[in-house]
Structure 1
């Protein structure tokens, strides 16, 4: 099988998928300014009120009937455009069955960032280390309260590195090529990766470098998995 041939032996069983058009992703706009409002108290309270209401499976009208507040006022509260009084928060807490302090949880939540200078980062041992693959960890969020662990690495392959296309681990992995040229295997499909190319895949299938075309090879690898899969 020619690794440069997009119509390889396994192309029918493992077709290469291209990204759908941007209109197919109706979710978050990465350029929106909404993130700048995350620490505004009114927005934080509104999100918690909506979250608790949704958990109970009730509508805004149901909550209005239970609290005596108008639909318009509840809409303003949930959208973070008004600051509810303590009396209003007490009324909402009784109706939703949560303490008043629960509405401030998101506002008080710590937001952290990990800064790594160029060339730094923690060198760690992973399965491929014995094959000469250098893993430099750029950050880790396992200590946070979220349910997903994200591990970003810069992986370097040199003349001393072995080809090893049999990595398998839980979660998803994203690769972005920075330097060099490699034939990368995922399951029964081969991908010719050069700088600027990327690959996103289910990491539970066998994967890894199958042929190193141009050394040194460096790529960004971002692995994510559920905490209960650790």
Structure 2
């Protein structure tokens, strides 16, 4: 027969095993993956409700759902039944499939390992300016193109750039005087410059070489018939 001390130890171990353990990063990740649909549905319901300028209470009354339950649905904290989703679709006057669009959307990513990236021929490339494309994302409403630009002793001044969109520069190495419109900006490592790229712009004075900077171009693509 086990001693009293051993019996107490067994009871302690059993109690600890039965007690809920604190969540780990793995639990949180699994939870996010498992309730991704609930979160997407909740975001869609909230977005449509706000577009219609309805409060949680008002929508709850229209759909026959308590405000507390509706809040849980919008926060992705509970899984709405098919009947509940049908009630919400009628109350919001939208097809039920609209609640699932955010979950079905394709999320793009562009990964470029260190030291790689496609060298792009752009205006200025022939003058010794290297443009290395670090990735790109193209959506119907927005194009994003990040470049690593390198200027060396072989670089020459080149015609000023001018194109639609917004451009962001972050200086990594060297020093250049960069023109935007009628102003010159002295860029050193750590400096950044963001501007309307429809105005004439480009490096005008190469003060310290080699010079490297990140250039990220954001622009809205031309729309058919626009």
Normalised-by-shorter TM-score class: 0.7 to 0.9
Deviations 1:19-76 (A, max 9, x none): xxxxxxxxxxxxxx9xx95872221111100112223333323322221112222122
CA-based RMSD of the aligned residues comes to 2.3
Distance 2:59 2:216 in 1: 42
TM superposition shift of 1:171: 1.1
Change (3 A) 1:37 1:173: farther
Structure 1 segment 117-136 matched on structure 2, within 5 A: 117-136=113-132
Matched, 1:95 2:87: no
**Number of aligned pairs?**
194
The 3-state SS of whatever aligns with 2:209 is strand
Q: TM-score, normalised by structure 1?
A: 0.76
Q: Are residue 81 (structure 1) and residue 73 (structure 2) matched?
A: no
Query: Quick one: distance in 2 between partners of 1:214 and 1:37?
Result: 48
Partner residue in 2 for 1:174: 168
Higher share of residues assigned helix? 2
Q: Taking structure 2 as the reference length, what is the TM-score of the superposition?
A: 0.77
Distance 1:106 1:115, change over 3 A: same
2:135 corresponds in structure 1 to: 139
* Residues 2-13 of structure 1: pairs in structure 2 closer than 5 A: none
Q: Indicate the structure whose relative CO is greater, using CA pairs within 8 Å and at least 6 residues apart.
A: 1
Secondary structure of 2:86's partner? Answer: helix
Q: Matches of 1:136 and 1:51 in 2, distance apart?
A: 39
- Higher-Rg structure is 2
